[in-house]
Each structure stands twice: as structure tokens, then as C-alpha cells.
Amino acid sequence: MSDIGATFRALHRPGDPFILANAWDAGSAKVLAALGAEAIGTSSAAHAFTLGKLDAGQVTRDEALAHAEALVSAVSIPVSGDFENGYGDAPEDCAELVRLSAEVGLAGISIEDIAHPTGAAYDRALAVERIHAAAAAARALPRDFVLCARADGCMLGLYDVDEAIARLQGYQEAGADCLYAPLPPTLEDVRRIIGAVDRPVNVLVAGRYAEVPRADYASLGAARLSLGSALARATHGLLARLGEEILGGDFAGLVRERPLVSIDDLVAAGGRSPAGG
């Protein structure tokens, strides 16, 4: 059997970024795979929406792992788990999450530096220690596993870009395989972040950053482009708009927004092969 973690790692090529297509259920994962996605990511926010919950600490570790396992079972391409703060403050919690994630078949995971439910950023030293424990657990696995370490405080206004870079450099030294500081203030900050580290960098394509073409991210040296919850939010936005029209008595949108391709065919094409993929 092929090493799904090694397959996932090989996709991370600085200057030639692949798109980590974030899905929210098995069906959306299959559709994205059928459309040509090379890897699927879970999204903590998108998953929370399916449960009628919000992001940031409302979904449990067991719920997140079960959701991720369902996506792994649905497709034959690598799946990476978006696992908030690792579902615990201690370094040992992060290490245990790595082991459990490997057991359900994930090719990698990402871990943030924001505590829940407080929403505060972990002290930098503790944040680095958490990634060190997770990286050690990943290296002890019998197969490859890609650990992405996130500096989310910049996006949340908890610290500046300089601090984000310092944290990413610490995560790099701690053994992280991929680095990620979502939504810094400017595109020039993305360039600074990528230039300050020597590991593959993930860029979140959401909000104003969705207006930047892949070619520009390639020129910056990005290795991975993730969607986060952006695609799920767009889908829910369509649901809200059409739902409002339908509940007002106008059903024309159901025809107007009819997919240009058969969703049935995409779901069938995007699943695992009979042999398990």
C-alpha cells in the first residue's frame, strides 16, 4: 500500500503551490476529488456548520476525528485535518492528536496557537513546545505524516507579523513540516513570511486573498493554497439566497442555479476505487 503521507508531502513544492481543497462532508470531498483536487482538507469551521455549531472550540476532538475519517474513507487522495488547537493546551495533547490522526488515515494535520475557549494566543515558548511534541509524535509513526504549524494570532489581531514570523521560525526549529500564518495584513507580508522560513508555506485563499491568482502566489514562493471555510461559506451563502427566494414563493432560482455538470456523476467519480484507492 502506498504511503499517503509521502504522497501528500510530495505535493508541497515552493513556487508551484497545490490547492488543498477544504471539504465539509464526504459528498463535497468526492465532488472536489472528481474535479481534480490533489488533496482534501477538512475545515474546522465548515465542519462545525454541518453540526449546527460555530468554529473555535465548539466541536470535540472525537467529532473532528470521526468527520476526518469519513472524508478519508470517501476519497483516494490525501486528506489533511484542520484541528484547531489540537483539542488541548498541553504538548501531550498535540502529540496524542497526531497519533490518533494517523490511525484514522490522515496524511497530515494543522495545529493552531490559539487557546479555547479563551481565544488567547499561547505564550510563544509554549506554542513552540506544543509543535515540538507533535513533530516528535509524527516522526515516531511508521509512515510519513505532514505537520502544519499555524500562527493564527496575526489574523486575529493578537500579535503582529513580526511575532508571527518569530513563531513560525520557532515551529520550524521544533520540527514542523509546513508553516501557516493566515490572512496577514498585506500581500507583501505574505512575501515576508515565505522569505523568513525554509519550510513550505500554506497561504489561506479567502477574503481579499481570493482575488489573487495562483500564478502570483507561485511567484511569492507559496507551496500550498488552502480554502479554509471559504468554499463552504460560499455554498451556505447560495443556500441562504435561494432559500430566501423559495420561502418567499419564487422557485426560479432552482433552475437558474442548476449545476453545469451532473453532481451525481461527480460524486460517483470522486470516490475510492473498488480496491480501496
Q: What is the pLDDT of residues 180-219, one digit of tens each?
A: 999 999 999 999 999 999 999 999 999 999 999 999 999 9
Given a cut of 90, is residue 277 above it in pLDDT?
A: no
Where helices occur in the chain by DSSP H, the ranges are: 4-10, 26-34, 44-50, 61-74, 91-103, 124-139, 161-174, 187-196, 214-220, 230-247, 253-256, 263-269
Asked if the structure places residue 234 within a domain, the reply is: yes
Asked if the structure places residue 90 within a domain, the reply is: yes
What whole-number distance in Å separates Cα of residue 135 and Cα of residue 171? 9
Q: What is the pLDDT of residues 36-72, one digit of tens each?
A: 999 999 999 999 998 898 877 789 999 999 999 999 9
Asked if the structure places residue 275 within a domain, the reply is: no
Given a cut of 70, is residue 1 above it in pLDDT?
A: no
C-alpha angle 153-208-51 in degrees, rounded to nearest 5: 65
Asked if the structure places residue 276 within a domain, the reply is: no
What whole-number distance in Å separates Cα of residue 274 and Cα of residue 277? 7
Asked if the structure places residue 96 within a domain, the reply is: yes
pLDDT at position 2 is: 78
* CA-based nearest residue to 30, from 265, 239, 236: 265
pTM score of the predicted model? 0.92
Q: Are 152 and 56 in contact (CB under 8 A)?
A: no
pLDDT at position 268 is: 83
Q: What is the CATH number of the domain that holds 124?
A: 3.20.20.60
Asked if the structure places residue 161 within a domain, the reply is: yes
Domain that includes residue 59, residue range: 4-269
Handedness of CA 115, 203, 67, 126 (dihedral sign): negative
pLDDT at position 55 is: 75
Domain count, the chain: 1
Confidence of residue 273 (pLDDT cuts 50, 70, 90): low
Q: What is the pLDDT of residues 108-140, one digit of tens each?
A: 999 999 999 999 999 999 999 999 999 999 999
Asked if the structure places residue 153 within a domain, the reply is: yes
